[in-house]
């Protein structure tokens, strides 16, 4: 029996105390919680812990092995950095959501059964959407709803898949699943939505740039990386992932080149980086899986660093569009340097963290003789430097002088960025003493060989040359105040078209029905019920009177008298009795 | 959420006359000179490397340099002349 707690519990229960603490104690508490969690994790040995027997199934809250531990470490680390960065925020909702979000991610990572996995998976969505809504703008509310709907659909898909899978195998255990049968495909697809696969991706680029300044840092770290973990656990070596990943690396960079909102540029580059991980998981060799999860580890740090630097710019200037920014290196040098460290890391410059992980995936593709894939990945490597490596720092901190002279980022933000920047450089310089020690498979990979360093440096420097030449020649597309359509058009405009169509058809049907039934047939029936009998009765009587030679005024008087008597129900008693007798005679004769 | 009034710092200091690093054209010149010489050195170093790549073309001289340059030019031209005309809309398109 061990004395440690499930990592998720520390964060989720810890979150509930936040509203009851005030001031500096709250700030200390927020920073302490990830530290306590981390110590707890370090003390937890590998193996299966915290099993709960429920309804004939075993719920496992602690599937602790090298794969889950790696994600556990980085999630604690980034949670600390995120809370440090968000320390000035006075909004309890965001702190609560952040803690529950991080806790849910840890719950997913250490879940050993599909039921608790699913529950934490759904908690991820519910808690993270609060970080979007907490911005409290119209755009963020809309983006949050779309985010929620897409993830709800993905969650249902996953749930259906889990139900089928458990029914088929009779086991709730969360381990290797592989593609076989409908259930596994549904699970695969459910993971894919959180992983932002091509065509399933627009929830990410739609919502992340609308979240709060500090919320985006949380968002960039957890959702997609838990999906990467889930894929690495359940679908390693699945061939489809190679192509899905390769497409993910390539298509977002075209969007990133023409996008004006710099946080949205980063959102596109997030998809691009996750593509490398997905591709690595698809290749499935020990080197590729090592590369994929190592890249996830590094990406969490450098992507957070880039988002933090843009967040600091946004915090100080209130602006985030490339058209509004420029020249900020003058008064925000520290943020600028951190941003450039993040840019160098994501671009995989030698001595920065991306270099030691991305190249593992590239080499795994090369060893598998995947020519086209390798070319696409190389293209994406050049492209990511182009848009995230150069464009982000250039348009925010250099380029034309926007005239703004904002203050440097607040101290807590600088510390958070500083830690992430330091780690990115440290891992890049000494991978064998840090990252390579915690990878799931033994590492024999040597990133720093002369040809490799030279090749990568050439690739990046000449990508930069392309940027320089295109900027100087004026061909580089100017940043524009515009939006770029993506696949979310299908449900954003398509949803409205569907609504209009339904409005036109169903409400049209409603209107026609009202005309026909409410006003038409009902009216006729009502009129008939009112005086229909009287009018019918007039017919034989008037014919009879006419034949008897009654004309003109006398006829009119007789008609009116009969009509009012019948319609008013005041027929003379004799006629009524005669009619009743006649009725009885007819009945008698017919029976 | 509390966000400090944005832009308040920027206005007060727009008449700031301090010279910063790249306000001096000489520094930009030095930067470019350093950058272009680095490009040259990288091209020369390529001939002194014993390559053992998994693909034949990765061993061609200056492969990475040419690929990086061409890939990025293609990327930008495709984004500017193909993608942008297709997807660009007014900022209030969805409103």
d(CA A407, CA A332): 6
Chain A CB contacts of B64 under 8 Å are 454-456, 458-459, 462
pLDDT band with cut points at 50, 70 and 90 for residue B9? very low
Q: Answer whether A478's CB lies under 8 Å from A322's CB.
A: no
Place of tokens 């990508």: A463
Note whether B44 contacts A: Cβ–Cβ < 8 A.
no
Chain A CB contacts of B10 under 8 Å are 317, 403-406
* Average confidence (pLDDT) per 10 residues, chain A, 591 residues: 83 94 93 96 92 85 94 97 95 94 96 95 95 94 94 96 94 92 95 94 94 95 96 95 96 92 95 97 96 97 97 95 91 95 96 95 93 94 90 91 92 97 97 93 92 93 93 85 85 86 91 86 83 80 84 85 78 75 87 76
Q: 3-state DSSP call for residue A551?
A: coil
d(CA A197, CA A184): 17
d(CA A462, CA B70): 9
Q: What is the pLDDT of residues A476-509, one digit of tens each?
A: 888 778 888 888 888 888 888 888 899 999 999 9
Note whether B54 contacts A: Cβ–Cβ < 8 A.
yes
| ipTM, 2 dp | 0.82
d(CA A57, CA A54): 5
Q: Which pairs with CB-CB distance under 8 Å and at least 24 residues apart come from A116-119?
A: A116/A59, A116/A60, A116/A61, A117/A174, A117/A230, A118/A155, A118/A158, A118/A159, A118/A162
Q: Answer whether A87's CB lies under 8 Å from A3's CB.
A: no
**Is residue A323 classed exposed, middle or buried when 0-12, 13-18 and 19+ CB atoms within 10 A define those classes?**
middle
Among A74, A81, A155, which Cα is nearest to A121's? A155
- Please give the backbone phi and psi of residue A567, each rounded to the nearest 5 degrees, phi first: -65, -35
Q: Answer whether A412's CB lies under 8 Å from A333's CB.
A: no
Chain B CB contacts of A258 under 8 Å are 79-80, 83-84, 87-88
Q: What is the pLDDT of residues A505-527, one digit of tens each?
A: 999 999 998 888 888 888 888 88
Contact A329 B21 (CB under 8 A): yes
Tokens of A190: 């459910």
Q: Answer whether A123's CB lies under 8 Å from A107's CB.
A: yes
Among A523, A552, A298, which Cα is nearest to A421's? A298
Q: In Å, how far is A495's CA from the nearest CA of chain B?
A: 11
d(CA A304, CA A346): 11
The pLDDT score that the predictor gives to residue A202 is 92
Q: Which of A134, A383, A484 sits opposite B1 (nearest CB)?
A: A134
d(CA A491, CA A273): 25
Residue B8 reports pLDDT greater than 60? no
Tokens of A304: 């957070």
pTM surpassing 0.95? Answer: no
Return the domain boundaries, chain A: 1-234, 236-480, 492-590
HSE at residue A216, side-chain half, CA atoms within 13 A, is 30
d(CA A190, CA A164): 13
Chain A CB contacts of B50 under 8 Å are 451
Contact B4 A136 (CB under 8 A): no
């Amino acid at each position: 029996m061990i004395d440690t707690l499930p990592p998720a519990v520390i964060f989720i229960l810890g979150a509930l105390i936040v509203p009851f603490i005030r001031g500096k104690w709250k700030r200390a508490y927020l920073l302490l919680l990830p530290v306590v969690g981390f110590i707890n994790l370090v003390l937890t040995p590998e193996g299966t812990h915290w099993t709960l027997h429920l309804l004939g199934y075993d719920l496992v809250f602690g599937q602790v092995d090298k794969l889950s531990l790696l994600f556990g470490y980085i999630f604690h680390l980034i949670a600390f950095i995120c809370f440090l960065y968000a320390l000035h925020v006075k909004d309890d909702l965001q702190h609560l959501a952040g803690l529950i979000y991080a806790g849910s991610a840890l719950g997913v990572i250490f879940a050993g059964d599909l039921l608790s996995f699913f529950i934490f998976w759904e908690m991820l969505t519910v808690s993270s959407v609060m970080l979007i809504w907490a911005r409290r703008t119209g755009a963020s509310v809309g983006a949050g709803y779309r985010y929620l709907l897409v993830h709800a659909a993905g969650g249902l898909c996953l749930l259906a898949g889990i139900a089928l899978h458990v029914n088929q195998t009779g086991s709730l255990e969360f381990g290797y699943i592989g593609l076989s049968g409908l259930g596994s495909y549904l699970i695969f697809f459910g993971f894919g939505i959180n992983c932002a696969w091509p065509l399933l991706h627009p929830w990410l680029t739609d919502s992340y740039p609308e979240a709060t300044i500090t919320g985006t840092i949380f968002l960039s770290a957890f959702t997609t990386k838990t999906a990467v973990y889930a894929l690495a656990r359940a679908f390693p070596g699945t061939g489809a992932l190679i192509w899905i990943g390769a497409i993910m690396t390539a298509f977002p960079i075209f969007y990133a080149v023409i996008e004006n909102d710099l946080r949205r540029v980063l959102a596109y580059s997030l998809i691009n980086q996750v593509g490398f991980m997905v591709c690595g998981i698809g290749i499935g060799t020990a080197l590729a899986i090592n590369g994929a999860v190592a890249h996830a580890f590094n990406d969490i740090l450098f992507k957070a660093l880039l988002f933090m630097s843009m967040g600091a710019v946004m915090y100080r200037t209130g602006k985030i569009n490339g058209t509004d920014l420029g020249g900020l290196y003058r008064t925000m040098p520290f943020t600028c340097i951190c941003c450039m460290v993040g840019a160098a890391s994501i671009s995989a410059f030698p001595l920065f963290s991306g270099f030691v992980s991305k190249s593992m995936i590239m080499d795994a593709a090369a060893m598998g003789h995947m020519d086209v894939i390798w070319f696409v990945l190389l293209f994406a490597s050049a492209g990511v430097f182009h848009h995230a490596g150069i464009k982000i720092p250039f348009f925010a901190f250099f380029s034309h002088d926007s005239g703004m002279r904002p203050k440097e980022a607040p101290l807590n933000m600088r510390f958070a960025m500083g830690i992430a920047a330091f780690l990115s450089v440290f891992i890049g310089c000494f991978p064998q003493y840090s990252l390579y020690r915690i990878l799931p498979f033994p590492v024999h990979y040597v990133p720093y060989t002369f040809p490799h360093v030279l090749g990568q440096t050439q690739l990046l420097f000449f990508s930069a040359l392309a940027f320089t030449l295109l900027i100087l020649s004026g061909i580089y597309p100017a940043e524009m105040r515009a939006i770029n359509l993506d696949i979310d058009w299908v449900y954003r405009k398509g949803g409205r078209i569907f609504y209009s169509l339904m409005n036109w058809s169903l409400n049209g049907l409603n209107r026609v029905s009202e005309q026909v039934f409410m006003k038409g047939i009902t009216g006729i029936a009502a009129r008939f019920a009112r005086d229909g009998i009287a009018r019918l009765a007039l017919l034989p009587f008037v014919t009879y009177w006419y034949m008897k030679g009654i004309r003109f005024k006398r006829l009119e008087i007789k008609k009116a008298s009969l009509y009012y008597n019948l319609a008013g129900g005041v027929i003379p008693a004799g006629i009524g009795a005669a009619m009743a007798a006649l009725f009885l005679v007819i009945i008698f004769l017919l029976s | 959420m509390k966000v400090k009034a944005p832009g308040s710092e920027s206005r007060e200091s727009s008449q700031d006359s301090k010279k910063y690093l790249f306000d001096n054209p000489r520094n930009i010149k030095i930067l470019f000179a350093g950058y272009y010489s680095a490009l040259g050195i990288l091209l020369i170093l390529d001939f002194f490397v014993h390559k053992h790549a998994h693909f034949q073309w990765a061993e061609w001289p200056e492969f990475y340099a040419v690929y990086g340059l061409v890939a990025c030019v293609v990327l930008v031209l495709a984004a500017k002349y193909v993608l942008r005309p297709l997807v660009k809309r007014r900022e209030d398109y969805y409103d």
